[in-house]
Each structure stands twice: as structure tokens, then as C-alpha cells.
Amino acid sequence: MRISNRISALLALLLATSAPVHGQEYAVSRQTFSFYADNLDIDVVAKGAGRLQILRGPLGRVDVAAHSRDGVAGFGLTDAPSVLRLAALGGEGASYIVVVPDLTNIRVKLPGRRGWQHADRYGSPTFKWDSVPDAPDVDESMPRPTMDGRYFVATTRMDAPERVRLLNGAHIRSVELRLEGTEFRIAASRAFQPRTGSASLIDIDAGSEDVDLVIQVPAYTRRFELQLGSERLAAVADGKLSDLCRPSIQQVSPAGFKRVTYRPALGVSCGVKPPVPSQRP
């Protein structure tokens, strides 16, 4: 039986196993390529499910036939290295038949799978694949790490509120208060959205996933308090930062600004009275 007749017979069989609905007809693409290489890679690029059958034929040529239900199936052969790409756009049930020379080494890469598979040199190996889900859309509104290369900035504004209140510390691994810079920022190790009740108060609900927080208060701030529930963790008065609870970790930035860190999830003990800012006319 001639190669073209073998392809036609196999296509008829494939079409019969996925019978058209309401007399629908399928478009079949066929092409013959000259081919004299020892190796051939077959790269299948498709999102819908499908199958590929490989046949062995004479030297010097590669025959390809394809169809896709409710879509378009295509293919192309590149040289150096020899790669046959099989593509399907739209629809489901793409089917391909590829006839290659007997002595050719064949590798196949299927949609949704890593690496290459070697085709059996004997018989007529068949490869099948399932639909490949679309990659999730990237949320462009999601804040990007802009503090120390690891924190997502959730809030930025020029002046600090009077208070930031941590509503629940059970999942706050750490909260670092920094008195530096010229902007007020709240950042975290994962994306979240603080609750802004008023210009003077910001509430933070850490939720049920562990998180590390960084709160940056401008160096010129006259009055600010960081609270855990009803307890005051730290206070700023006239540009000076005081930690009011224990245990705490105190640091000084390279620029000489003070930083203090608490670990609410491990527990803190409070009771130190904050300094009172001076009254200026």
C-alpha cells in the first residue's frame, strides 16, 4: 500500500472513532517534507487534548497529516536541528499521523509534560495527551517587592497616621518598626490589604497565614503609636522611637536610624508608658 493511501486509511479510522456531530466535516492538512537526517524531534504545541501516531516509511521523506475537531491543526519542519512542530489552535481532539524513515531516531515532546520521550523504533507507537489548562493571569494590581527585595508594599503615603493597630498577632511572625525616610509605608512578606478606618488609624488583620510586617514611619514624625490589640508596642515622640514591650530586638540602620522588632506570634509583655511629646506652640 502506498504511503498516501496508508495515511488516508488511518485518517478515516481516526475520524470514525470521533464521529462528527450533525454531519460536521473535518479539514485535513497533509504535506510531504524531504528528510535525510538521522534524528527527528517532534514537538507538539496544543492546549486541547489529542493524539499522535508514528509510522515507519521509506528514506528521504517525512509525511504528515493532521486534523482538529472545531479547530485548526498545522505543522512545520525546521532544519539544524530537525524539529517537526505540530500545533493545534482551538477545539479539541487534534489527531496527527507522522510517517518517518525506518532508521530515524525520534523524540516526542507532548503538551503539559516535561522532557522528551523516545519513540519505539518498532511498530506504530501512539502518543496521547490531555487538555492543558491556561496559565493563571498575572494580577498587575498585586504590589511588587520594593523594600529590601522581599517585602510587598501595601500602603504608601507622605504622613504617618497617629496609630497602626495589629488586630491579631497569632500569625504575625515579626513586625519591624522603622523610624526613617520621608514616606510612611506598610509592607509584608505576602500581599495583603490594611484596613483604613480614618486618616488617624490603620488596622492590620494578618489573617490565617503567617506573615512578616515592616512599618516605616518618616523620621520627622512627631507622634505615632504601634498597637497590638489594646496594648502599645512602640511609640514615636518628636522623632524619637521608644519600644514599650518585651522581648524586642533593637537595631540601628546604616544611616543611624533606630529600628525595633517584635514577634507577636511568640508573645510579648507590655506595660512601659510611652513618652509624651513636647507641646510646641
pLDDT at position 88: 85
Please tell me the distance from the alpha carbon of residue 261 to that of residue 243, in angstroms, as a whole number.
9
Q: Which helix (H) or strand (E) holds 107?
A: strand 105-109
84: phi > 0 → left, psi -120 to 50 → alpha, else beta; which?
beta
Q: Are strands 126-129 and 145-147 parallel, antiparallel or unpaired?
A: unpaired
Q: pLDDT by residue (tens digit) across 97-115?
A: 999 998 899 999 998 787 7
Residues of the chain short of pLDDT 70, as ranges, are: 1-27, 80, 133-146, 196-197, 271-281
pLDDT at position 185: 92
Question: Phi/psi of residue 6, each to 5°?
Answer: -65, -40
User: 174 Cβ partners below 8 Å, 6+ apart?
Assistant: 212, 213, 261, 262, 263, 264
Task: Kindly report whether the global pTM for this prediction surpasses the value 0.85.
Answer: no
Buried b (16+ CB within 10 A) or exposed e, 38-76: eebbbbbebbbbbbbbbbbbeeeebbbbbbbbebebbbe
pLDDT at position 249: 92
Please tell me the distance from the alpha carbon of residue 72 to that of residue 193, in angstroms, as a whole number.
44
Amino acid at 135: A
Terminal alpha carbon distance of the chain? 104
Give the full edge-to-edge strand order of the sheet including 105-109: 72-78, 83-89, 39-45, 105-109, 117-118
Give the full edge-to-edge strand order of the sheet including 258-262: 145-147, 151-157, 184-188, 211-217, 172-179, 258-262, 249-252
Task: State the CB neighbour count (10 A cutoff) for residue 272.
Answer: 14
pLDDT at position 272: 52
pLDDT at position 197: 60
Q: Are strands 39-45 and 172-179 parallel, antiparallel or unpaired?
A: unpaired
Q: Which set of grid coordinates corresponds to residue 209?
A: 497565614
Q: Which residues pair with 98 in a beta bridge?
A: 54, 64
pLDDT at position 22: 43
* Distances from the Cα of 18 to the Cα of 50, 70, 87, 279, angstroms: 11, 12, 19, 85
